[in-house]
Amino acid sequence: MWTRLSRLPYSIRLFMVTAVIAVAMVVLLAFELIQRQALLEQSSLRVDSLTAPAFLLDREFLRFQHALELHLLSKQAMPVEDLQMHLDLLSSKVDIVRESPGSAFMFKNPDNIVSVESMHGFVTRAQQAMNLPEQRAHELQQLLNDMVAFTTQTHAIGSSADLMASMLLEQQNAELLAQNQQITWLTLAQLVLLMATAIGLLLRHRDQQREKAALTTLNEQLRQAQQDAEAASRGKSLFLANMSHELRTPFNGIVGILSVLATTPLSQQQADLVSTVNDSAGHFLKLLNDILDMSALESGKMSMHTEAVDLRALMVDVQAIMRPLAVQKNLHFSLHELPAQPLWVKSDGTRLRQILLNLLNNAIKFTEKGSVCLHFRQDEDAANTRFFEFSVADTGIGLDEASLGKLFQRFYQVDSGLSRKFSGAGLGLEISMSLARLLGGEIRVSSQLGQGATFYVKLPLVSHTISPEVSEVVPEVMQAPLVQAGVRVLVAEDHPVNQKFLALLLQRLGHEATFCDNGELALMALQQQDYDVVLMDIHMPVMDGLTATRSIRALPCDKANIPIIALTADVFKEARESAAAAGMNAFIPKPVQFKDLETAFRLHVNPPAAAQNALAIRQSDQSITITYPTSQN
């Protein structure tokens, strides 16, 4: 039983103890009421009220007997009227004793009943004798003789009443003592319960204090853990930013020099070697981008940038990128259900392009012969919600049921093991699924082993209407002439290999370049000479690119409005936002591509206003971000 009680919650146990105390108090109250009623009865049955009638009856009996003796035996006989008066007093006392409720205790003794009835008979006989004058003396004499013989019994009535009153008092006192003892025990029990409750409350209070202290300690530990986690997250972000910069900076020089080398006269063998190195560099860059995207998704720092996206143009651009890869493997690449007219929607074009490129790259990689197809459709679901869906179908190796269940897990590869045929880090599909969910959609797959696979990308369709003016300008922007040669370019770059690459790139464009190793030197150079545009690295010694940009924007002259284009290996969202906040006009991630730099010059070095707005809407090239308003056209 105690084990069962100990398992109950503390509040229930405390309630049970309180209930027991309440029941004990109810019982105590009942005893007090009983005691009060006994006291009331004792006060109503006072001893003197119980014994007085008996003694008065005895006294009046003796007085009537004495008056009767005086009337019969005295020389001076008592008048009959006085004798009648004593008889009436005796008669009234007899009636009182016989009829009074207080005499009930006295009649518990049968002898008292007989004695009172006998005295009532004496009164009756006396009244009859008083009514017979001729026989009065004889009858009264006989009555006197009988009364003298009865005197002992009259005394016994008083003594019996006194004895019974004493017994009644003793009984009442005994009952009161018993009740008092019961009340005492109940009070003691109540006191014990109250003390137990008080001790329980005290122990509970101590437990609560310990629990509160433990909770406070836990909160402090959790707060500290949260701060440590936030510090670790900041450290991770900083580490990734630094690693991105440290990897991309020399990689920018490698890719840049290779691109310049590819334009020089090369033998067939040299050209093949350069192409091989470029393919390896592209693979490395994709792997680096996947790792950075995964880190951004894990930390929740990747957000979608809703913009106007032409799905028809997106499909055409993706086809232009992926068709050469399919041709290399003798695969047929096709577009099905391509919209006949531009189809503008609100979405993140860069991330949508990234999803399609990942899926198409996998389809081409796992298909040895046959075809790869990009299909498009738009429809409504059961809830009348419009959506559009891309499907990427291939005739490759296909997937079994076990692989389908693990396909979107991190690092999972269908072709795993030391002898695997297909390369990859196993991040692309998980990143694609995460991006699709951030865009409000999902990716599903259907496949059979040896019969190819089809991936479906379903996203909500939010239509967007493009004004006619902008629609007319887009072709003009895409065919706009290049910026005239001879642009004076100030380059702030601390890495010597990147300086060499940028010098060759700008030389091919026909521009004049001045190089500075840090932001402070670039600021001084801009103050001393005139330039048309600044290419600014962000991570530099002495003065970084953001500080240098803010200092340039604060100059009290027209040079404060010079276009500044960020060239950086830090490709995180925070870097882009910081660059925009500092006043940079464009953001080109490393490795810098010829077309990215060319497009930025066309946009920011005296670009036509209409062309600039249209190009900002289109943003069809994922390697360059043109979302910041320019300071001056």
Where do the structural domains in the chain lie, given as residue ranges?
10-204, 304-460, 479-618
Q: Are 350 and 619 in contact (CB under 8 A)?
A: yes
Map 549-598 to HEC letters: HHHHHCCCCHHHHCCEEEEECCCCHHHHHHHHHHCCCEEEECCCCHHHHH
What phi, psi does 232 have (nearest 5°)? -65, -40
Integer CA distances (angstroms), 4 to 1, 13, 190, 520, in order = 5, 11, 24, 79
pTM: 0.48
pLDDT digits (tens, 9 = 90+) for 12-21: 766 677 777 7
Specify the higher pLDDT residue, 94 or 585.
585
Domain 304-460: top CATH class: alpha beta
Local structure of 307: helix, strand or coil: strand
Residue 146: is its pLDDT beyond 60? yes
Q: Are 316 and 284 in contact (CB under 8 A)?
A: no
Which residues lie closer than 8 Å to 156 by C-beta, 6 or more apart? 111, 115
- Which stretch of 8-22, 322-336, 366-380 has the lowest confidence by average pLDDT? 8-22
Q: Are 295 and 240 in contact (CB under 8 A)?
A: yes
- Which stretch of 143-147, 152-156, 288-292, 381-385 has the lowest confidence by average pLDDT? 288-292
Mean pLDDT of 290-311: 71
Q: What is the pLDDT of residue 151?
A: 75
Residue 611: is its pLDDT beyond 60? no
Highest mean pLDDT pick, 275-284, 301-310, 388-397: 388-397
d(CA 582, CA 566): 11
Asked: is 479-618 a CATH 3.40.50.300 domain? The reply is: no
d(CA 402, CA 284): 30
| Cα torsion 157, 158, 164, 168: sign | positive
Specify the higher pLDDT residue, 136 or 123.
123
Residue 564: is its pLDDT beyond 90? yes
Q: What is the pLDDT of residue 477?
A: 40
